[in-house]
Chain A
Amino acid sequence: MTYNLEIVAKYLPFLLLGVGVTFRFTVMGFFLGSFLGLSLALGRISKNPVLRLPCLWYIDFIRGTPLLAQVYLIHFGLPQVFGYRPVGSVDALVALTLNCAAYVAEIWRGGIESIERGQMEAARSLGMTYGLSMRFVILPQAFRRVIPPMGNEFIALLKESSLVSVIGLEDLMMKANMMAGRSFRPFEAYFTVALIYLALTLTFARLVGRLEGRLSSGHG
């Protein structure tokens, strides 16, 4: 089992070019997905079935189907049905956002439901509307609880972003494929790229851990 360091050194700058693309997609997808996810969570817990059911169906569909299928559907499927010119990078971002939103929705739902009923009852008894209670009492408390799972979702998204390579985007995974095909050294290509992904995910895992620590100290 040889790991040819020469080849790795030769291709490393090439591979690292993909990191920027991977990172951009992950961050933007997570940012947009988080907002959409929170809205979906609020819709999901609503008493009104007109709000709750579509949110539920959306979440179930996204969580129940492979991201790869979603990417292909958005990029090749929709233009075929609606006849518009797709833009690869937009399709990739949309797929990652929609996917992230479904998982974030469940994270927020868990966080919100974990806040004791007493909080909502107290807020309402003070005369606050449902909306105000959510905004100033429930969500701020839920926020701290969702940090760890949100951090995990970010890290998961970082890895899942590798799927945008199938619609031609030059992220880290695509760079790995190109290196493997040009150098005929799949082991060097994929193992190195796995290490790069690992470096990224471990870094963020650390950051999330520190964030958790800072937010939990000093508060009940």
Chain B
Amino acid sequence: MKRLLPLVLTSVLLLALLVVSCTQEAPKPATTPPTASKRKLVAVGEATFAPFEFMDTKTNKPIGFDIDLISAIAEASGFTVEYKNLDWNSLVAALNNKEADLIVSGMSITDERALEVAFSDPYFASGQAWAVKEGSPIKTMEGLSGKTVAVQINTTGDFAAQKIDKMLTEKGKKGLTIKRLKNAADVFNELKVGGCDGLVCDLPVVQEYLKNNPQDKVVIPEPAFTVEYYGIAMRKADKDIHELINKGLAKIKVSGKYDEIYAKYFGK
């Protein structure tokens, strides 16, 4: 038995070395020097946000408005882009540790976020909407008083729900209970199974959900109650990337390519 101990220790040591050697590998830089062949940028987003980014079930790749948009911008500005799916809460961290260069994920421009990241010019006008199940007694926003509302954590939907809560309590009514889920898909599922009375999410995303899932019988009683603009988030220091993006965005707006992409996802 005593002879076993050195063997065990050596195996453990070897295993530890193996693990350490794997994690020591520095992540490959996402960009190539501009003087070489076309510069490559990595864009990330959470692909659970149709029609902006979602997973194509056939090819298992992310597709959507945001993917088409950034590809068009890349073409107009002369760089290549790779779009990767990453969960919402990891997006800014990935940007900061250079795993990604761009966040293109239906991210609304807010003053708080602008303190940490640089935003491109706005590329989409959106707003938050609240939705309930068909036949729900809740007809107006005030009806949400005392109810449970599902939102995606750390999104403008989350912040908007907090504002509704504040508005209600300031009027002397009961606030609402906010249930924070990890991604938009979970939010819709929560309403579907009845774990909440309503949800708050970006209007275009809710509309897309209604369109694709008529059997779930979700309705939007009132128009969007906030005005927000999506922007592409980048590291503050990358002034050259800011220029590439804004110039590319301006080009495709002028050339009609933007309208083409818009019509593809939002046209009648």
A residues sitting closer than 8 Å to B (CB atoms) are 75-76, 79-80, 84-88, 166-168, 170, 174, 177-178, 180-182, 184, 186
Do the beta carbons of A168 and B193 come within 8 Å of each other? no
Taking the closest CB of chain B, its distance from the CB of A37, in whole angstroms, is 28
Give the complex CA separation of A130 and B153 in angstroms.
54
Taking the closest CB of chain A, its distance from the CB of B203, in whole angstroms, is 21
Asked if B190 CB lies within 8 Å of chain A CBs, one says yes
Complex A-B, nearest 3 residue pairs according to Cβ-Cβ distance, in ascending order: A181-B154, A85-B194, A168-B179
The residues of B that contact A76 with a CB separation of less than 8 Å are 186, 189, 193
Partner of B194, one of A84, A167, A182: A84
CB nearest to B190 among chain A residues:
A168
Do the beta carbons of A85 and B89 come within 8 Å of each other? no
Knowing A181-B154, A184-B116, say if A85 contacts B193 (CB, 8 Å). yes
Task: Offer 7 A-B interface pairs, CB within 8 angstroms, sorted by A.
Answer: A88-B195, A167-B195, A168-B150, A168-B179, A168-B180, A181-B154, A182-B154
The residues of A that contact B192 with a CB separation of less than 8 Å are 80
Taking the closest CB of chain B, its distance from the CB of A136, in whole angstroms, is 39
The residues of A that contact B113 with a CB separation of less than 8 Å are 184
Interface string of B5-43 (1 = CB under 8 A from A): 000000000000000000000000000000000000000
Do the beta carbons of B194 and A88 come within 8 Å of each other? no
- Prevailing SS type, chain B contact patch: helix
Do the beta carbons of A184 and B92 come within 8 Å of each other? yes
Asked if B217 CB lies within 8 Å of chain A CBs, one says no
Do the beta carbons of A177 and B153 come within 8 Å of each other? yes
Asked if B182 CB lies within 8 Å of chain A CBs, one says yes
Asked if B55 CB lies within 8 Å of chain A CBs, one says no
Taking the closest CB of chain B, its distance from the CB of A217, in whole angstroms, is 31
Taking the closest CB of chain B, its distance from the CB of A21, in whole angstroms, is 13
The residues of B that contact A87 with a CB separation of less than 8 Å are 195
